[in-house]
Amino acid sequence: MVNTNLECDFPCDDVKHIWTIPKINLDPERVKIVVVSEAPPLDEKDYYYTNHGSFFQTTTCTTFEDAGYSPKNFEELVEKGIYFTTAIKCPKKNYNVKAQTLKNCSMILEKELSQFPNVSVIMCMGDFAIKCINYITKRRDGERVIPQGSTYKLRSNDYVMDSILYVPSYTQTGPSFNIEKSKRNMIAEDIRKAMEYAKIS
C-alpha cells in the first residue's frame, strides 16, 4: 500500500477539504511513469481508483488509445508501471486556486513521489501540475525544471533533471477533454514520448 503515511493539515480556503489521494496496493519499485493531473473531482466516484470505469479512468484510457496503445482497462495501465495522481489533493471550489495552495500541495506531492525510486518520466498534465513540480524542483535543486511559458510552446523541448524526463502537457481529466480535439492530439503525442522514454510498450 502506498501513501499510508501522507497527511495534510494545511488550512487552504479555496478547496473543499475532501482529502483525495491514491491508496492502492502496488510495488513502488515498478512505477516508471507518474501522471500528475490537476485536481480530484468533486464526486469521489469519478476519481482514478474508486470505481471501475470512473470518469478519470475513462478519459485516461481514451488518451492512451489516442496515443496508439490499447489498454483493456485502467488497471492494465497501472500494472504496466504507470501511477496516476493529482497535483492538489482536494477538489477545487472554483476554477483556480491560490499560489499558496499549490505550494502546500507540492509538499505533499513531493513526499508522494519520493516513494518511487525508479521513475523515469513525470507527466505534468496541466498548469497546476507544472507549477507544483516546479515548486518541488526549486526547493530541492534550486531551479525550475520546466520554464515559464505556454504549454503549447514548452512541449517542443525535453526537460530532464536527474535522469527523469518531465513532460508538460494538458490535463486529460477535465470536463472539456472531449471537446478540445487539438489538445487531445497533443496529449497523445506527449504520452507516446513518455512511453518511449520509459520503454513501456
In this predicted structure, what is the pLDDT of residue 95?
Answer: 86
pLDDT mean values, one per 10 residues, the chain (201 residues) = 87 89 92 98 93 92 96 96 97 92 97 98 98 97 96 95 97 82 94 98 89
Domains and CATH numbers, the chain: 28-198 (3.40.470.10)
Grid cell in block for residue 197 = 522514454
In this predicted structure, what is the pLDDT of residue 84?
Answer: 98
Count helices and strands in the chain by DSSP H and E runs: 6, 5
Q: Contacts for 130-138 with beta carbons within 8 Å, 24 or more apart?
A: 130/168, 131/87, 131/99, 131/102, 131/106, 132/36, 132/87, 132/88, 132/102, 132/105, 132/106, 133/36, 133/87, 133/106, 133/109, 133/166, 135/102, 135/103, 135/106, 136/106, 136/109, 136/110, 137/161
In this predicted structure, what is the pLDDT of residue 73?
Answer: 95
In this predicted structure, what is the pLDDT of residue 108?
Answer: 97
In this predicted structure, what is the pLDDT of residue 172?
Answer: 94
Cα–Cα distance, 34 to 37 (Å, whole number):
10
Cα–Cα distance, 151 to 128 (Å, whole number):
12
In this predicted structure, what is the pLDDT of residue 81?
Answer: 98
DSSP string, 56-109: HHHHHHHHHHHTT---SSHHHHHHTTEEEEESSSS-BSSS---HHHHHHHHHHH
